[in-house]
């Protein structure tokens, strides 16, 4: 059986793994490969190769760096079906969804192609006699990215195009559940002409993460994953003196006001709730129905939920694939069982959806009359479970969202521009959609939530990504001005010259 290896120093690692894990095909439930899990030897080799590569890469002129980024973008465009197939086969999302993920990641590559412009410093002339000040931004060195299973290509691409464009060497530690996409990406970089060691893949689990967090040559850590691990990574990396941004879990609400276009809102709830089987950090998991909109809205959502085609990710007619592992499917199912026990009304029971016998499937589930005290509401479920909470007023809806410990994304559906504007200003979350259920910022803005959805203060990609992967330096220089100093003695330095 195939073993998914590390990519170190521009090639596949050829050492036999001390430990390995299973990689499943979620559509069949079968093990389809093993993944090497890094130990001390591989961690040391990966970081050392990246450190050596950085020493040369930081001096490669911007114009050459950018040509490699453009080439990477073109190679990816040509091989995007291959990348999407690798994602779909191990994650279980349908191929069209995997292609969408590649496209969103590619936008960050395109942003990074413009790095010469965003890396420009500032200049102040004549701050004092013969004295000017300018600022520059320099790369950090070896930087690490630790990423989740749910976007095995896009989330790493939130990080490495910007990190590499800024002159750093990047070590990616992908999820061990769907590790193959990272190797396709490594091949794309090689084909684009990136020098060996500038992009490294270290496969592994907690041991690899801890190895990177403790390594003195790793200068910065970008993490995306669940909140408990985000908090751990943030605290450990910071305690080790590293720069760190750690994006955590989510519980995204979609507020529907009584004046909303119900059909539009219902379409949005279904695609944002069940797309990728709800395994998206920006998935909608709570619909907040305000006032008298609830009965009609629940009916519209239910009709659409029943129509979602669940099936193997490779089948073109499938709209929703399986969950990533049997364990995760059982955990999500546990919330459905628990929700019924807690008294929520199960309007569509995905446990009864006709699904293939093999594979980690669960049909889409819709609950109504969910209350904030229920586990169904409190916890991040990360599966195809949509909860409707009924409130009387706009104010109650905003309070509900703001009281939630997560603050990743939130949406409002309304025809009232004033209400939307007020919501945008008042709501306690990092990314807001107005009649847009998944308000993922474009690559030239930065992505990040608030509260327990982000530890650290810097969001990923866009301008904040550039800031994260560079250090500022300010230079103050004083030179004699021949016109005002014909003797050429130069300004008074405060000490005698010979």
Task: Report the catalytic residues.
Answer: 281
Would you call 228 exposed, middle or buried from its count of C-beta atoms within 10 A (0-12, 13-18, 19+)?
A: exposed
Question: Is the Cβ of residue 92 or residue 167 nearer to ligand NAD in the bound state?
Answer: 92
**Structure tokens that stand for 426 in this block:** 């008042």
175 contacts ligand NAD (rule: CB under 6 A): yes
What is the nearest approach in angstroms of ligand NAD to the Cβ of residue 235? 12
Question: Is the Cβ of residue 194 or residue 247 nearer to ligand NAD in the bound state?
Answer: 247
Q: Which of 131, 138, 226, 402 is the binder for ligand NAD (CB under 6 A)?
A: 226
Spatial distance between the Cα atoms of 244 and 145, rounded to a whole number of angstroms: 10
245 contacts ligand NAD (rule: CB under 6 A): no
Quick check: 454 and 246 in contact, CB under 8 A? yes
20 contacts ligand NAD (rule: CB under 6 A): no
Helix (H, G, I), strand (E, B) or coil at 348: strand
Question: Is the Cβ of residue 54 or residue 223 nearer to ligand NAD in the bound state?
Answer: 223
- By CB under 6 A, the residues from 153 to 172 that bind ligand NAD are 155
179 contact partners, CB below 8 Å, separation of at least 6: 4, 23, 35, 90, 152, 203
Q: Which of 250, 256, 272, 320 is the binder for ligand NAD (CB under 6 A)?
A: 250
Q: Which of 89, 163, 171, 224 is the binder for ligand NAD (CB under 6 A)?
A: 224
Spatial distance between the Cα atoms of 413 and 56, rounded to a whole number of angstroms: 51
What is the nearest approach in angstroms of ligand NAD to the Cβ of residue 382? 5
What is the nearest approach in angstroms of ligand NAD to the Cβ of residue 441? 11
Question: Is the Cβ of residue 106 or residue 147 nearer to ligand NAD in the bound state?
Answer: 147
Q: Which of 120, 206, 473, 489 is the binder for ligand NAD (CB under 6 A)?
A: 206
- Using CB under 6 A as the criterion, what x/- string covers residues 39-78 for binding ligand NAD? ----------------------------------------
Spatial distance between the Cα atoms of 378 and 401, rounded to a whole number of angstroms: 12
With CB under 6 A as the contact rule, which of the stretches 66-74, 225-233, 338-346, 360-368 interacts with ligand NAD?
A: 225-233
CA distances from 102 to 11, 74, 147, 179, 185 (A): 23, 13, 15, 15, 11
**Which of 275, 280, 312, 288 has its CA nearest to residue 389?**
288
Q: Using CB positions, name the residue nearest to ligand NAD.
A: 225
**Which of 433, 456, 443, 446 has its CA nearest to residue 252?**
433
Question: Is the Cβ of residue 153 or residue 155 nearer to ligand NAD in the bound state?
Answer: 155
Question: Is the Cβ of residue 192 or residue 381 nearer to ligand NAD in the bound state?
Answer: 381
Identify the residue whose tokens are 């990348």.
Answer: 83
CA distances from 294 to 270, 353, 416 (A): 15, 24, 18
Q: Cβ atoms within 10 A of the Cβ of 475, count?
A: 11
254 contact partners, CB below 8 Å, separation of at least 6: 265, 268, 269, 272, 284, 286, 287, 288, 410, 411, 412, 413, 437
Q: Where are the alpha helices (DSSP H) in 343-435?
A: 375-378, 394-403, 417-426
281 contacts ligand NAD (rule: CB under 6 A): yes
Question: Is the Cβ of residue 186 or residue 224 nearer to ligand NAD in the bound state?
Answer: 224
149 contacts ligand NAD (rule: CB under 6 A): yes
Helix (H, G, I), strand (E, B) or coil at 357: coil
Q: Which of 42, 380, 407, 455 is the binder for ligand NAD (CB under 6 A)?
A: 380
87 contacts ligand NAD (rule: CB under 6 A): no
152 contacts ligand NAD (rule: CB under 6 A): no
Contact footprint for ligand NAD (CB under 6 A): 146-151, 155, 173, 175-176, 205-206, 209, 224-226, 229, 232, 247-250, 281, 380, 382, 408, 449, 453
């Amino acid at each position: 059986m195939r073993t998914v290896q590390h990519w170190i120093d521009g090639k596949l690692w050829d050492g036999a793994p001390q430990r390995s894990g299973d990689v499943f095909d979620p559509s069949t439930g079968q093990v389809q490969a093993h993944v090497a899990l890094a130990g001390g030897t591989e961690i040391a080799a990966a970081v050392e190769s990246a450190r050596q590569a950085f020493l040369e890469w930081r001096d490669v002129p911007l114009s050459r760096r950018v040509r490699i980024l453009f080439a990477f973008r073109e190679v990816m465009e040509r091989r995007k079906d291959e990348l999407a197939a690798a994602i779909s086969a191990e994650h279980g999302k349908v191929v069209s969804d995997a292609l969408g993920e590649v496209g969103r990641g590619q936008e960050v590559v395109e942003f990074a192609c413009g790095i010469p412009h965003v890396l420009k410093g500032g200049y102040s002339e004549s701050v004092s006699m013969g004295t000017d000040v300018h600022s520059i931004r320099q790369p950090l060195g070896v930087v690490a990215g630790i990423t989740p299973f749910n976007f095995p290509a896009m989330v790493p691409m939130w990080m490495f195009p910007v990190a590499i464009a800024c002159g750093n060497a990047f070590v990616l530690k992908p999820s061990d559940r769907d590790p193959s996409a990272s190797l396709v990406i490594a091949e794309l970089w090689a084909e684009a002409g990136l020098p060996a060691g500038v992009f490294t893949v270290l496969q592994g689990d907690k041991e690899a993460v801890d190895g990177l967090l403790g390594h003195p040559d790793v200068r910065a850590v970008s993490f995306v994953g669940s909140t408990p691990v985000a908090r751990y990574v943030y605290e450990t990396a910071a305690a080790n003196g590293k720069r760190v941004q750690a994006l955590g879990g989510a519980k995204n609400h979609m507020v529907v006001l009584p004046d909303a276009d119900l059909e539009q809102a219902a379409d949005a709830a279904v695609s944002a709730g069940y797309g990728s089987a709800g395994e998206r950090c920006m998935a909608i998991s709570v619909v907040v129905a305000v006032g008298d909109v609830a009965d009609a809205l629940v009916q519209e959502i239910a009709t659409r939920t029943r129509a979602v085609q669940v099936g193997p990710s490779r089948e073109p007619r499938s709209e929703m694939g399986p969950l990533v592992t049997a364990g995760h499917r059982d955990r999500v199912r546990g919330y459905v069982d628990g929700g019924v026990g807690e008294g929520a009304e199960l309007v569509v029971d995905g446990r009864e959806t006709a699904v293939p016998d093999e594979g980690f499937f669960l049909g889409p589930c819709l609950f109504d009359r969910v209350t904030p005290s229920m586990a169904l509401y409190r916890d991040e479920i990360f599966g195809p479970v949509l909860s409707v909470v009924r409130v009387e007023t706009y104010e109650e809806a905003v309070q509900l969202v703001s009281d939630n410990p997560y603050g990743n994304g939130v949406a409002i559906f309304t025809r009232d521009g004033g209400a939307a504007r007020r919501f945008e200003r008042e709501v306690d979350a990092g990314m807001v959609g107005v009649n847009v259920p998944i308000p993922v910022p474009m690559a030239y803005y930065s992505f990040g939530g608030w509260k327990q959805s982000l530890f650290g203060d810097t969001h990923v990609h866009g301008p904040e990504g550039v800031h994260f992967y560079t250090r500022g330096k300010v230079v103050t220089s004083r030179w004699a001005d021949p016109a005002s100093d014909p003797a050429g003695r130069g300004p008074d330095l405060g000490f005698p010259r010979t």
